[in-house]
Amino acid sequence: MVHLIVAPAGHGKTVYAIDAVRALPPLSPVRVLVPDQVQAAAFRRRLAEAGGALGVEVQTFYGLYADVLTLAGGFVTLPQAQAERGMARLISSVRYRLIQRIAEALCDAGQLSYYAPVRRSSGFARLLGDLFAELKRARVFPEALGHALAESDPRLSELARLYAAYQEWLLETGWVDADGQGWLAAIALEQNTALLSDLSLLVVDGFDEFNPTQLHLLRLLVNRAAATIVTLGGDLQRPDRLAHRRLARARAALAEALGASPASLPARTVPPSPALVHLEANLCAPNVQNINLRFNRNIRKNSHYLAGGSGHKIHPSAHPIGRVDALDNDTPV
């Protein structure tokens, strides 16, 4: 069962997920997916403050990819070179140098003319690396890209040629890049239905968008987990807000991929911070009303500086959400 929980920032989505984790029997297998290591550390800290739980793995999607491949071991059918030698993770610095060498080789072979003048540029290699990563996250395979750009001008067709040569080198030598691990993890899950089939709970918390590779992995995992909780920002009562457009796209993508209908967060006993409610409600909104905040000593010092060294009020143009009045510690809010 998939629970797609939608609520504005600060309304208790992570608390709801933590409560669900702690409600399980001890040592129940739980996977928590978060966008980055900073949020992973924050989730672990909040889980510990709530009383903790054993058997909980908090990680990013990249950590999940690596875990799936480790658990798969020899039970996944890999390309021959990777099956014989194992997989080696390609670090960024080596990856950029590899892309540079591939560009030089294609140029020497007469297959690269448009980008020949910049083939040795480190900036060009980095841009190509970012492009290849984006293509892999979008599950755009070299064959499909080459076919789509076959009749295009060299500016585009040579990019497809570079992408295909890069992926061919990885397959032949048994190396894998970070986003390529997502492809292989999906293959492993598709080939071995026993992988992660013991999950009691899958939690996906803190995201505001998902790429196709992540959605594909989630689609494979939700069928194995006994329960899945996906939290997403937004407001179901105000679905057309400008500030929530990206969240609305993510919600639609999740609903299509997982077959889940969004639901509001159950009522919470502790109300959210008034300042956070104001900020969230007025983000990207015109005619924002003023808000008073209690400033600590450092913030009062900063407001004094922004005000030009005298007085306590910050000019409206100096603050993105309206005028902020700096108050003394003894001033009631």
Instruction: Specify if 166 maps to a domain.
Output: yes
Is the domain of 53 the same as that of 111?
Answer: no
Q: Mark whether 111 and 144 lie in a shared domain.
A: yes
Do the domain assignments include residue 94? Answer: yes
* Band of pLDDT at residue 284, cut at 50, 70 and 90: low
259 occurs within a structural domain: yes
Number of domains in the chain: 3
Q: Looking at the structure, tell me whether residues 169 and 188 fall in a common domain.
A: no
Note whether 204 and 155 are same-domain residues. Answer: no
Q: Are residues 56 and 17 in the same domain?
A: yes
Residue 244: pLDDT over 80: no
Residue pLDDT, tens place only, 29-65: 999 999 999 999 999 999 999 999 999 999 999 999 9
93 backbone dihedrals φ, ψ, rounded to 5°: -60, -45
Of 110, 142, 173, the residue that ends a domain is 173
- Considering the domain boundaries, does residue 29 fall inside one? yes
Which amino acid would we find at residue 209? E
Note whether 120 and 253 are same-domain residues.
Answer: no
Specify the pTM.
Answer: 0.77
- What integer best gives the mean pLDDT of the chain? 82
In a domain, 79, yes or no: no
Instruction: Judge whether 220 lies within some domain.
Output: yes
CA distance 57 to 30: 6
Burial class (CB in 10 A: 0-12, 13-18, 19+), 53: middle
pLDDT class for 295, splitting at 50, 70, 90?
very low
Q: Are residues 169 and 49 in the same domain?
A: no
227: domain CATH number is 3.40.50.300
User: Is 8 in the same domain as 157?
Assistant: no
